[in-house]
Amino acid sequence: MNSDDNNYSDIIDEIFDRAIYGPKIFKNKLVLFHDYIPKRLLFREEQISKLARHLTTLIKHQRTSNLFIYGKPGTGKTAVTRYVINRLLEKIKGTDFKFIFSYVNCRLAGTEYRVIKYMADSIGLKLPFTGLSTEEAFNRLKNHLVNLKKPFLVVLDEVDALIIRYGDNLLYSLTRLNYDESDIIAMIIGISNDLRFKEMLDPRVLSSLSEEEIIFKPYTATELEQILWDRIQLAFFDNTVDQGAVKLAAAISGSENGDARKALDLIRVAGEIVEAQGGNKITTDHIKMAYNSIDRERTLEVIRTLPLHSKLIIGALYLMTIGGQNNRIKSSVLYQKYSLLTGEIGESPLSSRRFYSLLTELSLLGIVNRRIDNYGRRGGRVTTVKFDVPLTLIKKSLVEDPIIGDLLINKFD
């Protein structure tokens, strides 16, 4: 065993000892995660009552109107919806009131076909991953609903993601279930972060989906503070969170769209930092560290999960940046460098069209910054790019890559 092995052994022992024998501040960390639904939801009494009243028509087997829920991310739309539906399911257990329920996150599902498959799976109908036309899959779902003879409640979360990409065909078919000869009673609850997608809906779908609406306003910093204290009591042991730390986490999240999830993330990551350091109290400094850490981890994770050619573009830009070339790199020059790099790992470069698409994606992800300058008849329009994140982060994420890491590591040094 050499001296390096001894050093690593000491570090690892220290980390494990701290985890096993060090002070503990978390009582139940799970309550700080996004999918946890608390027993009470603060500042959402009005929305809870409205949704609960709306759902009563369904359990009475009455034809009912659909519902559209709108609000910024982290304002409690999904939590309130799942909370009220869970309460209703508990309430009707053992009674004659019955309905079948399906929850689908349209952004995660991705395509119309998969939204139908998620709905089918959750009501006990097996559909293949692929091989059927979307129309055939929907017909099978519809026939299954006819056989079940129970009202059908479907929650389409992030429904805007589906509409923007595939149009409103599926939504139209779902809204028509109530009006054809099949005798199905169906209620659609659409949840969206973005009201603008309604402009893309067919007027018939729009009027059907927006019969009732519930708006979720962003939480204020004061409300976020109370929500945090409510959750802290469940998540941490007594006297392990400083009052100032909670105020700061609430203020940061309040200034960023009143996002409660962000506030919970800050407290959770700050708690993890305190435990890793062997400390026993979360302070404002830990919240600041958590804020930087979340940002940094997000960037690293985004770059790690990018496809190979996006990483090659980043690699080419990195090499040109550290190579002392201009602060901003021309996109056409970057394409040449990227093409050379792909050749070095035995790959063919993608077309310039595809290259521009990937560059646009990197810009939207906040990894590179694009600027368009115009040099007129002689120079034309020129797009230049530079990194929008620290070069140390770029290097760290690229050298970890099994394919291009080895290739680039020699050039880095």
Partner DNA sequence: TTTCCACCGGAAAATGAGGTCC
Partner DNA sequence: GGACCTCATTTTCCGGTGGAAA
Q: Does 379 bind DNA (CB under 7 A)?
A: yes
Among 94, 128, 346, 402, interactor with DNA by CB under 7 A: 128
Cβ 113 to DNA, closest distance in Å?
Answer: 3
Q: Give dist(CA 260, CA 263) in Å, integer.
A: 5
Q: Does 111 bind DNA (CB under 7 A)?
A: yes
Among 234, 251, 382, 393, interactor with DNA by CB under 7 A: 382
Cβ 246 to DNA, closest distance in Å?
Answer: 40
Q: Does 346 bind DNA (CB under 7 A)?
A: no
Are the beta carbons of 178 and 127 closer than 8 angstroms? no
Contact window for DNA (CB under 7 A) among 45-53, 92-100, 122-130, 244-252: 122-130
- The site for DNA, by CB under 7 A, has a size of 38
Contact window for DNA (CB under 7 A) among 217-225, 254-262, 291-299, 353-361: 353-361
Cβ 319 to DNA, closest distance in Å?
Answer: 18
Residue 94 burial class via C-beta count within 10 angstroms: exposed 0-12, middle 13-18, buried 19 and up: exposed
Q: Does 375 bind DNA (CB under 7 A)?
A: yes
Q: Does 126 bind DNA (CB under 7 A)?
A: no
Q: Does 372 bind DNA (CB under 7 A)?
A: yes
Q: Does 348 bind DNA (CB under 7 A)?
A: yes
Q: Based on CB atoms, which residue is closest to DNA, 292 or 357?
A: 357
Q: Does 324 bind DNA (CB under 7 A)?
A: no
* Binding positions for DNA, 240-299, rule CB under 7 A: none
Contact window for DNA (CB under 7 A) among 94-102, 240-248, 259-267, 350-358: 350-358
Q: Does 107 bind DNA (CB under 7 A)?
A: no
Cβ 131 to DNA, closest distance in Å?
Answer: 2
Q: Does 337 bind DNA (CB under 7 A)?
A: no
* Binding positions for DNA, 135-154, rule CB under 7 A: none
Among 94, 346, 380, 402, interactor with DNA by CB under 7 A: 380
Cβ 118 to DNA, closest distance in Å?
Answer: 11
Q: Does 309 bind DNA (CB under 7 A)?
A: yes
Q: What is the 3-state secondary structure (H, E, C) of the chain?
A: CCHHHHHHHHHHHHHHHHHHHCCCCECCHHHHCCCCCCCCCCCCHHHHHHHHHHHHHHHCCCCCCCEEEEECCCCCHHHHHHHHHHHHHHHHCCCCCCCEEEEEEHHHHCCHHHHHHHHHHHCCCCCCCCCCCHHHHHHHHHHHHHHHCCCEEEEEECHHHHHHHHCCHHHHHHHHHHHCCCCCCEEEEEEECCHHHHHHCCHHHHHHHCCEEEEECCCCHHHHHHHHHHHHHHHECCCCECHHHHHHHHHHHHHCCCCHHHHHHHHHHHHHHHHHHCCCCECHHHHHHHHHHHHHHHHHHHHHCCCHHHHHHHHHHHHHHHCCCCCCEEHHHHHHHHHHHHHHCCCCCCCHHHHHHHHHHHHHCCCEEEEEEECHHHHCEEEEEEECCCHHHHHHHHHCCCCCHHHHHHHHC
Q: Does 114 bind DNA (CB under 7 A)?
A: yes
Q: Does 402 bind DNA (CB under 7 A)?
A: no
**Residues making contact with DNA (CB under 7 A):** 110-114, 128-134, 307, 309, 330-332, 348, 350-351, 353-354, 356-357, 359-360, 370, 372, 374-383
